Amino acid sequence: MPGKQLLMTFPVTATSHTLADYVARGGYATLRRVLTQLKPEDVTKEVNASGLLGHGGAAFPAGRKWGVVHLNDNQPHFLCANADEGEPGTFKDRWILENAPHLLLESMLISSFALQVRNAFVYIRGEFDLPYRRLAAAVEEAYTAGWFGEHILGTEFSCDIVVYRGAGSYVCGEASGLLSSLEGKRGYPRNRPPRLTVQGLYKRPTVVNNVETLANITRIIAEGADAYRKVGTAKCPGTQLVSISGHIAKPGVYEVEYGYPMQQFLFDDCGGMLPGQKLKCIVPGGISTKVLTAAEVEPLTFDHQSFAGAGSSLGSGGMIAIAEGTCMVRLLQVMLRFYHHESCGQCTPCREGMGWLHRIIDRIVAGEGQPDDIDSLYRISRLQDGMTICGMGDAAGYATIGILDKYRDEFEYWVANKRSKLAGNLEGTVHA
């Protein structure tokens, strides 16, 4: 496995997700210690010291997000685990929900204790079936065992949890859109200010953390921030779950320690490309991150600084390996169809721009492209950037500009010759 493991520390078996197995692995011992020996401030301090980064895509320090919530401010606080994993290419939270639901629940209880949360929520995407059933069963088990409810372990701490199923909208994975949906409204993202940690769910301070971010809390509290910081790099402590797919020999979910060499990860751990195929580029962290060519990836190590230096980001860990011979025009068309379909329609640049981008690329693919269409794609992407309520306008722009910057020749070829340079292939070329 690529480096040290913090989450994937046990063999997955038919029963490894159950409460009995989790307790046998030492589960809920940390919660017991927290509730009986620690104060909320101790937990927050430890999380802050660990340097834990958000794993939802933006890599915002979790401790700083928590720090905005003031304890004892005489109003309810809410915690919500974002399990609306919808970024194309990303399926890593699913591993936690399916195989370690109790780790998430224990972490959420510890976090709720630290943030004085009485009611916690898990917003899980509607398409997740097994993850939902596993999580719902785990919640049942935890309630029966007394880990949720009034006066947990006889202490003053009480906490309830609700697992809420989304209806399958991409935008509801954005924290404020998620809260709107959770409130029963349209899943429209909200303008900041106010930040969600000031006015979130029902206008109360709300922390929305990614499932993977929360799952790390138990271990950080159990072993201390110093132990956590020994894993990964100085600026990027810990590990990140990577869901790799595409033209790769061994797709799946891997836990990668920050600082791990990319070449080793791709070609040793993941078994390299499919037989006979060569790496053309990777989508590093969900389709909203800029693609990196094989040459660009080669010197990188798996951490945020290294990827930022290459002009991209690790995003949500949804890595897609793309083989040589894949038509990038068709690939961008698929991406833009997704963004067009998922735009919530609230704010102007995204509502109109996504459809505009999609129609332009559809027209190019139909052989009716004009030379200035490529500039139009650039211009629309640039003018959406930073102009939308949520990050979706930016995201589609990054995806578009990332591909256009590096594979502009394929677009120009299609416009000039009314056909794909690579026969519209999305499967890559197999070399003998």
Partner 1 sequence: MPEIFINGQPVQAEAGQTVMQAALANGFYIPYFCWHPELSIAGNCRICTVQVEGRSWVEISCNMPVTEGLHVLTDSDLVREHRKATMQFITLNHPVDCGICDKAGECTLQDYHFAYNGSASVSREPKVHATKFHDLSERILLDNERCILCSRCVRFTREISKSNALGIKNRGDVSLVRAADDSPLDADPYSDNVIDICPVGALLSKPFLHKARVWYLKPTPSICPGCERGCSVNIWHRKAEWHLRALDPAQNTSIARVTPLENPAVNGPWICNKGRDLAQVFERPRADRAMQKGKPVELASALLAARNLIGEAKRVVILVSSWGSNEELAACRDALNGRFATFIKRDHAPLPGERIEDDLLIRPDKNPNTAGARALFGEASLREPAFEPDTDLVLVWGEGCNFATLPAGAKIIFLNSYLQPENGHADVFIPVSVQTERAGTYTNFAGVVSAFEPCFPKQPTVANAQDVFAAFTQDAVARS
Residue ranges that bind partner 1, judged by CB under 8 A: 169, 186, 191, 193, 340-349, 351-356, 359-360, 363, 370, 376, 383, 386-389
Displacement of CA 115 from its chain's centroid (Å): 22
Residues 6+ apart with CB under 8 A from 99: 12, 16, 17, 134
Residue with tokens 């997700």, as numbered in its chain: 17
314 versus 347: smaller Cβ distance to partner 1: 347
Q: Which residue, 113 or 170, is less far from partner 1 as judged by CB?
A: 170
CA distance 299 to 264: 11
How near is the Cβ of 415 to partner 1 at its closest, in Å? Answer: 13
Q: How far apart are CA 14 and CA 18, in angstroms?
A: 9
- The Cα 16–Cα 25 span in angstroms is 9
CB of residue 274 to partner 1, shortest distance in Å? 35
How far is residue 414's CA from residue 420's CA, in Å, rounded to a whole number? 5
| Cβ distance to partner 1 smaller for residue 13 or 348 | 348
For partner 1, give the closer residue by CB, 146 or 367.
Answer: 367
Which run of H or of E encompasses 78? Answer: strand 77-83
In angstroms, give the least distance from the CB of 197 to partner 1. 17
Q: How far is the CB of 69 from partner 1 (least distance, A)?
A: 20
Q: What span, in angstroms and rounded, lies between the C-alpha atoms of 22 and 101?
A: 9
Beta bridge partners of 149: 159
Nearer to partner 1, 355 or 424 (CB): 355
Annotate 82-95 with DSSP letters as a single string: EE---STT--SHHH
Nearer to partner 1, 146 or 386 (CB): 386
Q: How far is the CB of 86 from partner 1 (least distance, A)?
A: 14
What is the smallest separation between the CB atom of 305 and partner 1, expressed in angstroms?
Answer: 23
